């Protein structure tokens, strides 16, 4: 489970106070993503692999029909979505890859920490919800949408609403996968698939797989197969980790030591792919460009939005962190991993601070964790975005 946000980024140090005499946050971006970029929180597995475990979900989705975009005060009925027992991919009442109660609480806790930092301590956001100051974008997938909702519930719990809760409506934007900024479809950018094929067939990948033959044989034996079911060790690790985090036990033949080895394989696979400069550049350029554009508009006072909340996936977080030069090596983002990009101003000067799971990171090429904005902007936008469509073709 990923580390929750800490509140240790309040500016109390004397040296910092002298450096930033008129400091206030003017713009911040949160990624589900979690992803956790904010990655979604803990979820059900995407694969069964062995004899099914029984998944039990308590988090629920409610919807309300509306005939217009006007004041929703006339809403008198809501519908609760239910997964019917034993008619789903898994046994139980959970959907495939669904955000679980554990994931909901992860993001609600993140939102609570943000409330303490941005509302209670820094007075960046108002005490009562003002939906016009918040912008949310999520992939159109249950776990990322529910993760975004859960974080907002921590940031603005019911008691912090406007006093008429049913009117507290926040737009939650989504987009088709073919045009998403948070998760680039490989059909839209075929070069990503080509790079993946290349790294999988590379000499280093082949030699690494040969070194892992004992682990591969152990996993094959545990599942009664001889080819890892066509999956990578990392994907198998992800499925088993979901079961472990929800106390559903591990399959016979897989112990904690084996699970740890598989988790290391997940890190290795992520570094092999998302550590490829061409891959992470193409995968994140559109999102990086959007982030920079939002910062520019905020600094020019062209938008009122103060809090941009993007809810994505591990495959959103990893390439983005490499693209903004905050990581030197890729680490698999745990569920509810999150990135914060804060813009601080002092008079005419603007500075960027990047935090990952609450920890300050130094951008490669910056002299300080508070990086001059123009310097930071040049570092993260070295790629010519106008060539993106062309460079994505094989």
pLDDT tens, residue by residue, 234-292? 999 988 998 888 888 888 899 999 999 999 999 999 999 999 999 999 999 999 999 99
Give the tens place of pLDDT for each residue, 105-129: 999 999 999 999 889 988 888 999 9
Average pLDDT score over residue span 146-175: 81
Backbone dihedral angles phi then psi of residue 300, each to the nearest 5 degrees: -90, 5
Nearest to 33 by CA among 60, 8, 5: 5
Domain residue spans of the chain: 14-42+98-185+277-391, 191-274
Instruction: Give strand pairing partners of 342.
Output: 28, 353
Spatial CB neighbours of 75, under 8 Å, sequence gap ≥ 6: 64, 65, 66, 166
Q: What pLDDT sits at residue 5?
A: 29
Among 135-139, 258-262, 382-386, the minimum mean pLDDT is found in 382-386
Which CATH architecture does the domain made up of 14-42+98-185+277-391 adopt?
A: 3-Layer(aba) Sandwich (3.40)
Structure-model confidence comparison of residues 264 and 65, the more confident one: 264
Q: Which position has the token pair 């070295």?
A: 382
Taking CA atoms, 106 is separated from 1, 111, 263, in Å, by 9, 9, 21
Q: What pLDDT sits at residue 27?
A: 40
Q: What pLDDT sits at residue 33?
A: 22
Is the confidence at residue 341, as pLDDT, over 80?
yes
Q: For residues 290 and 292, what is the distance between their CA atoms, to the nearest angstrom? A: 5
Q: What pLDDT sits at residue 230?
A: 87
Among 3-7, 45-49, 318-322, the minimum mean pLDDT is found in 3-7
Average pLDDT score over residue span 368-390: 92
Q: Long-range contacts: 10-15, Cβ < 8 Å, 24+?
A: 10/117, 10/121, 10/122
Q: What pLDDT sits at residue 166?
A: 55
Q: Model confidence at 351, in pLDDT bands (50, 70, 90)?
A: very high
Q: Model confidence at 320, in pLDDT bands (50, 70, 90)?
A: very high
Is the confidence at residue 337, as pLDDT, over 70?
yes
Structure-model confidence comparison of residues 202 and 230, the more confident one: 202
For residue 226, give both structure tokens.
């001889």
Nearest to 43 by CA among 59, 27, 19: 59
* CA dihedral (184, 190, 193, 198) positive or negative: negative
First-to-last alpha carbon distance for the chain, in angstroms, is 38
Residue 346 has a CB neighbour count (10 Å cut-off) of: 14
Is the confidence at residue 40, as pLDDT, over 70?
no
Q: For residues 300 and 343, what is the distance between their CA atoms, to the nearest angstrom? A: 13
Instruction: Tell me what percent of the residues of the chain surpass a pLDDT of 70.
Output: 85
Is the confidence at residue 220, as pLDDT, over 90?
yes
Q: What pLDDT sits at residue 221?
A: 92
Taking CA atoms, 216 is separated from 95, 210, 228, 258, 298, in Å, by 29, 9, 7, 10, 51
């Amino acid at each position: 489970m990923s580390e929750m946000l800490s509140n240790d980024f309040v500016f109390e140090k004397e040296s910092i106070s002298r450096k930033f005499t008129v400091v206030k946050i003017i713009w911040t971006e949160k990624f589900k993503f979690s992803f956790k970029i904010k990655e979604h929180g803990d979820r059900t597995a995407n694969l069964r692999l062995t004899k099914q475990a029984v998944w039990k979900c308590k988090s629920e989705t409610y919807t309300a029909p509306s005939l217009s975009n006007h004041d929703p005060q006339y809403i008198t009925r809501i519908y609760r979505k239910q997964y019917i027992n034993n008619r789903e991919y898994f046994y139980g009442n959970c959907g495939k890859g669904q955000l679980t109660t554990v994931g909901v609480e992860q993001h609600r806790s993140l939102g609570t920490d943000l409330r303490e930092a941005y509302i209670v301590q820094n007075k960046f956001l108002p005490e009562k919800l003002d939906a016009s100051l918040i912008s949310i974008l999520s992939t159109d997938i249950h776990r990322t949408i529910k993760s975004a909702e859960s974080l907002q519930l921590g940031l603005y719990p019911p008691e912090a609403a406007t006093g008429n809760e049913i009117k507290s409506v926040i737009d939650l934007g989504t987009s088709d996968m073919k045009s998403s900024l948070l998760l680039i479809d490989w059909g839209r950018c075929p070069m990503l698939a080509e790079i993946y094929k290349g790294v999988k067939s590379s000499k280093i990948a082949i030699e690494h797989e040969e070194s892992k033959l004992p682990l591969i044989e152990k996993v094959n034996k545990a599942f009664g197969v001889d080819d890892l079911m066509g999956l990578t060790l990392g994907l198998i690790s992800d499925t088993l980790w979901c079961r472990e985090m929800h106390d559903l036990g591990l399959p016979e033949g897989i112990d904690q030591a084996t699970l740890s080895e598989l988790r290391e394989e997940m890190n290795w696979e992520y570094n092999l792919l998302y550590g490829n400069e061409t891959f992470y550049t193409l995968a994140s350029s559109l999102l990086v460009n959007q982030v920079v554009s939002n910062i520019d508009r905020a600094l020019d006072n062209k938008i009122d939005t103060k809090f941009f909340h993007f809810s994505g996936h591990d495959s959103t977080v990893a390439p983005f962190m490499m693209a903004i030069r905050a990581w030197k090596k890729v680490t698999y983002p745990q569920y509810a991993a999150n990135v914060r990009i804060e813009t601080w101003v002092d008079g005419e000067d603007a500075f960027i601070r990047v935090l990952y799971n609450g920890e300050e990171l130094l951008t490669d090429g910056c002299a300080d964790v508070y990086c001059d904005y123009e310097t930071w902007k040049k570092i993260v936008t070295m790629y010519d975005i106008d060539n993106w469509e062309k460079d994505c073709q094989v």
